């Protein structure tokens, strides 16, 4: 896997300056020239002075310590993704960082939750539909075991994961037609849509991706 270029920078978002709170300190993550920005929920007060070179506030150890902690968390996320040999993107880093304080649901865990709450207990679904969802869940579980990522987080699922799952269904799952493979993808993307509605995901990894072709 080729080495990726990334950078992390704190900056003042002057357009959102508040008379009461001050100027918000934002974070910019850049990976291979693609960037995302997010708030640190920290502010520069009018009595403080921002050092552009160090990206810290002069003589404010409390805020500076918190900025350093954020920076450390982000580099730890990057290091973990590199160990897992995952393709790193600025959006993925942001997703994992934002989810770190709220939810660390594993993909397998969320699928089980979805089936129990929205499918198996739903009388509107036929027994055939319920069975099909269980089959999709089984394929995902076998795929995770085969690719040595049984504890992958829901937020870590990306376009590459979807592509790898497609290859698995075509080559490892015996006797599946193109139509059946497409249906497994449709059920999985439905699960991701619910995860977005429940604020467990920010973006559907299937977005803009053609499947079952």
Per residue in 94-145, pLDDT (tens digit) is 988 886 655 568 999 999 999 999 999 999 999 999 999 999 999 999 999 9
**Is there a contact between 153 and 105 (Cβ–Cβ < 8 Å)?**
yes
Q: Rounded distance, CA 68 to CA 51, Å?
A: 14
**How sure is the predictor about 208, in pLDDT bands with cuts at 50, 70 and 90?**
confident
pLDDT in tens, 143-173: 999 887 888 888 888 888 999 999 999 998 7
**How sure is the predictor about 2, in pLDDT bands with cuts at 50, 70 and 90?**
low
More confident residue, 148 or 206: 206
- Alpha-carbon dihedral of residues 54, 91, 113, 193, nearest 10 degrees? 140
| Residue-level pLDDT at 202 | 76
Q: Which CATH architecture has domain 107-197?
A: Orthogonal Bundle (1.10)
| Residue-level pLDDT at 203 | 81
| Residue-level pLDDT at 72 | 93
Cα 19 to Cα 3, 55, 103, 148, 161: the distances in Å are: 44, 22, 33, 52, 45
Concatenated DSSP letters of 73-129: HHHHHHHHHHHTTPPP-HHHHHHHHHHHTT---BHHHHHHHHIIIIITT-TTS-HHH
Residue 57, SS3 per DSSP:
strand
Within 10 angstroms of residue 78's Cβ, the number of other Cβ atoms is 20
Report DSSP state, residue 173. Answer: S
pTM assigned to the model: 0.56
Q: Which two tokens stand for residue 185?
A: 């993808």
Instruction: List the beta strands (DSSP E) in the chain.
Output: 6-12, 23-31, 34-44, 50-51, 56-57
| Residue-level pLDDT at 41 | 86
Q: Rounded distance, CA 63 to CA 197, Å?
A: 33
pLDDT in tens, 62-86: 889 989 989 999 999 999 888 888 8
| Residue-level pLDDT at 100 | 62
* Mean per-residue pLDDT, 193-204: 84
Whole-number percent of the chain with pLDDT over 90: 54
- Residue 82 exposure: Cα atoms within 13 Å on the Cβ side: 11
| Residue-level pLDDT at 103 | 53
Q: Rounded distance, CA 100 to CA 131, Å?
A: 33
Identify which of 108, 114, 117 has the alpha carbon closest to the alpha carbon of residue 143: 108
**Is there a contact between 56 and 64 (Cβ–Cβ < 8 Å)?**
yes
**How sure is the predictor about 212, in pLDDT bands with cuts at 50, 70 and 90?**
low
Cα 162 to Cα 71, 86, 117, 212: the distances in Å are: 30, 13, 24, 11
Q: Where are the domains of the chain?
A: 6-100, 107-197
- What mean pLDDT value characterizes the chain? 89
């Amino acid at each position: 896997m080729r080495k990726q270029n990334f950078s992390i920078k704190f900056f003042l978002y002057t357009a959102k300056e508040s008379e009461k709170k001050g100027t918000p300190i934002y974070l910019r993550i850049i990976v291979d020239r693609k960037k995302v920005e997010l708030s640190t929920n920290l502010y520069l007060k009018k009595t403080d002075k921002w050092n552009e070179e160090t990206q810290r506030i002069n003589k404010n150890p409390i805020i500076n310590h918190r900025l350093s902690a954020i920076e450390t968390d982000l580099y730890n996320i990057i290091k973990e993704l590199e160990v897992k040999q995952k393709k790193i993107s600025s959006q993925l880093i942001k997703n994992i960082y934002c989810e770190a304080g709220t939810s660390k649901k594993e993909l397998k865990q969320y699928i089980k939750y979805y089936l129990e709450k929205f499918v198996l207990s739903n009388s509107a679904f036929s027994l055939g539909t319920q069975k099909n969802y269980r089959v999709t869940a089984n394929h995902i579980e076998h795929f995770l075991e085969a690719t040595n990522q049984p504890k992958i987080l829901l937020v870590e699922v990306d376009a590459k994961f979807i592509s790898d799952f497609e290859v698995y269904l075509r080559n490892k799952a015996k006797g599946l037609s193109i139509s059946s493979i497409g249906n497994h993808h449709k059920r999985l993307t439905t699960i991701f849509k619910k995860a977005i509605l429940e604020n467990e995901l920010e973006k559907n990894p299937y977005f803009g991706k053609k499947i079952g072709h």
